[in-house]
Structure 1
Amino acid sequence: MSDSSGGDAGDARSGTDSPDATDAADTTDSARVDSSDSAPGTEQAVATDGPPVVVCLDMDGVLVDSEDYWHAAEREEILPRVLADGTPVPDLDEITGMYYGEIYDYLAERYEPTVDKAAFMRLYDEAAESIYGDRVALLAGAGDFVADLRERGVPVALVSSSPRDWIETVVDRFDLAFDGICPAEEFDGPGKPEPGLYEAAIRDLGGVPDRAVAVEDSENGVAAAARSGAYTIAVRDDHNADTDLSAADEVVDRDDPAAVFAAVRHSMRTIRESVSGNSGSSG
């Protein structure tokens, strides 16, 4: 995991379906200093009463609508080509949100792959070139939202099971920038649904889990974020209409981007208030 230029949170865990919030929720009662660990030009909030509140965002299904395309590719093309004839195709919730190298290991333990791991991963890489290079769309307003958080000194990481080259395609295509990019392939440990990837991302941002907010969309991703101790927001969309997202602290519809952003801001503000004891806006 590296920087890129391109728990229990008290009252924050009460949750809300579509919280109202103001821009004041993104500010802190803190000193603001330039950090050598931040992307160029980024300010990082240094709270006088503890570590900063940090934000971790999943990519697939949250920032971009790639899961719509991945589900079709896996169901119709990839899995039928790599599993023995007559082998039942796994429920996609079993594998969505996992690093694709670990998807192969999962299938090898429970199903009957007919190709080796290298061939399996090549199929994913071939599909990824089209999905990320041409087909995905960015969640409306996401670029401005991330930029605004970072401008206000909120450290933001992209925490993804996609490998770095897929992530960089998205980051470059949509001109995004984060304080940290954290691909599962670069983490020395199991990826989602285990919590280690989120724990490391939060630590790399200078945060602690009970002052972190994570946004996910898959059962495996939600489980990883929740197990790390971060306040976890799940986004619901057509691709995960029937997915169990109950491990999340709240669920918001992805077709209402403003509600997604408001949920992040509301939870950040509530975390700050629960720590500081303030009853009003921390801005």
Structure 2
Amino acid sequence: MRAIVPALVFALSLALALALALPAAAQVTVNPGALDQNPAAPPASATTPPAAPAPPQTGATPSETPKSPAKPKPKPKPKVQSKPAAKAKPPAAAPAAPPAAAATPPAEAPPAVRLGTAPENLTVPAAPPASPLLPPAAAAPPEHPNVTPPPPPVVAAAAGEVIEVPGGTRITFAPESADLNPATDAALRQIGSEAAKNPAAVVNVIAYASGAKEDPSTPRRLSLDRALAARAVLMAAGVPSTRIYLRALGTASRDGPPDRVDLVVVTSQAAVAATPPPPGPPQPAVPNAAPNDPPSEGKPPPP
């Protein structure tokens, strides 16, 4: 009986040690550094926790002390063999370039110049360059003269009369005619002389003519001839053409005789701005005056 108890204790201790050592042996660690340095060296053994002493059996007497079981040897870890590196293929030879017709020498880079320093080959001219020669300016075109057309002829036997209407004067004509008689010519000259005295006066000339509705162009041209005849008389009286407005309406007359010309004189401030000032006598030059200063009027010259 005494020989069986130690055998049982040894068997239990061995089984417990094996149970504790199996999980530690299953864990395999690889140290790449160690493999690279010395692949033939065995891997470091994992630390195995000490086996706990088996508890004493209940049936054993105090005088019989069980012997401590021998520690089992740890199992060696499997060696991890590193795979051999794949052999590098030699690089493919590049295709030979065709021979160049002529070797081009490499372009030389310009010398670097630091900021704030002048290059060594900088040459400063002794005198500034000459001013470029500019072509002469084109001469200003001549001003368009205010050409006064010749007044239309006065026909004594031409039909027509002068009628005063609210806001203006009405002049009648014979059908299919643009001739003026002495009465209508005198009325136009009087209107022109009065309008020439007022720089803000504008004369509106509205002409009409009778004709067939199937041919509106013929009455329109006849009304334009009558308006141009009235404008020629007004310009001969002194009214500039910029202050005479013509309207040839043909058969569009609403009330009154169909063959007529209505003249309406109105006042316009725009006509004052558009009318150039009349030429006056030249003013004496002021001594010691700047070229762009306007001449002073009624002021004594500076000392």
Q: TM-score interval w.r.t. the shorter chain?
A: under 0.3
Q: What TM-score, normalized by structure 2, do the two folds share? A: 0.16
Between the two structures, name the one with larger relative contact order (CA 8 Å, sep ≥ 6). Answer: 1
Richer in helix (by share): 1
Question: Rg bigger for which structure?
Answer: 2
